[in-house]
Amino acid sequence: MSDNGGTAVPLLAARDLAKAHGRTRALEGASVDLAAGEILAVTGASGSGKSTLLHCLAGIVRPDEGTVAYAGERLDELPEKRLSELRRTEFGVVFQFGQLIPELTAVDNVGLPLLLAGATRAEAQQRAGEWLERFGVRGQAGLRPGAMSGGQAQRVALARALVTGPRIVFADEPTGALDSLASEQVMTALIGTARESGTAVLLITHDAQVAAYADREIRLADGTVARAGVTA
Ligand SMILES: Nc1ncnc2c1ncn2[C@@H]1O[C@H](COP(=O)(O)OP(=O)(O)OP(=O)(O)O)[C@@H](O)[C@H]1O
Ligand SMILES: [Mg+2]
């Protein structure tokens, strides 16, 4: 169990985040800490602001108000160039609605972040294949997203988020399209990888069985943290 109330400096710390989409106030004063290697579940009703929170924490969306600090850098103030470098090197993101590149096969989707980081095509293919194997979708390596099931696409997206060895993985409903057996397999692979490599995971989920894999859970309601506690 990580010690968040004590002396540990969080790897990621967000304070009093506010974000509106037009007239909808998606976040209103949300504060979150994530320690290095910690697995944090974020739950809450549909529309409570979970995805918006994830996008702010991962430096994809700038909050209207509040601060996000990652390892001493203020993401809410960084220039876009440094933000995109951090997203590429330190963070892995699994979006709620997939966002694999439709023109690329599974193995090329997973290999792309490696190519962007300077790997050769052969290295990228090799490592991408290993990650597909880990998530049980090696057989789909040659398929494009349009030919995969929702659950297969989610596993490919997880492999893509982990392939570069990020310090934090942000996963928005990564088991949302999976049945309970597949969900258990995917969570075992995700959590096993994170524990081995000391990767922190921020995991959005509706599913209490998935949240139970986390060290800690926070619940959002109306754009703010309504409840924080330990899951285990
Ligand atoms: N791009 C957008 N434009 C307008 N409104 C948005 C946009 N994105 C989110 N919202 C609104 O902001 C609120 C929070 O949305 P968000 O996607 O963060 O919720 P969520 O907790 O992830 O929901 P779900 O569980 O359904 O995925 C909702 O009322 C939503 O309709
Ligand atoms: Mg969402």
Q: Among 50, 56, 93, 210, which residue has the most ligand 1 atoms within 8 Å of its CB, making it the best to mutate?
A: 50
In the reported structure, the alpha carbon of residue 101 is separated from the centroid of ligand 2 by a whole-number distance in angstroms of 20
Give tens-digit pLDDT for 96-153: 886 899 999 999 999 999 999 999 999 999 999 999 999 999 999 999 999 999 889 9
Looking at all shown ligands, the one closest to residue 21's CA atom is 1
Strand stretches in the chain, DSSP E: 12-21, 24-34, 39-44, 65-70, 73-74, 91-94, 168-172, 200-204, 216-221, 224-230
- Taking the model in full, what pTM does it have? 0.92
Give tens-digit pLDDT for 58-97: 999 999 999 999 998 999 999 999 999 999 999 999 998 8
Q: Is the Cβ atom of 49 under 6 angstroms away from ligand 1?
A: yes
Give tens-digit pLDDT for 138-195: 999 999 999 999 889 999 999 999 999 999 999 999 998 888 888 998 999 999 999 9
Write the residue with the smallest CA distance to atom 2 of ligand 1: 21
Q: Which two tokens stand for residue 88?
A: 């590429």
pLDDT at position 20 over 80: yes
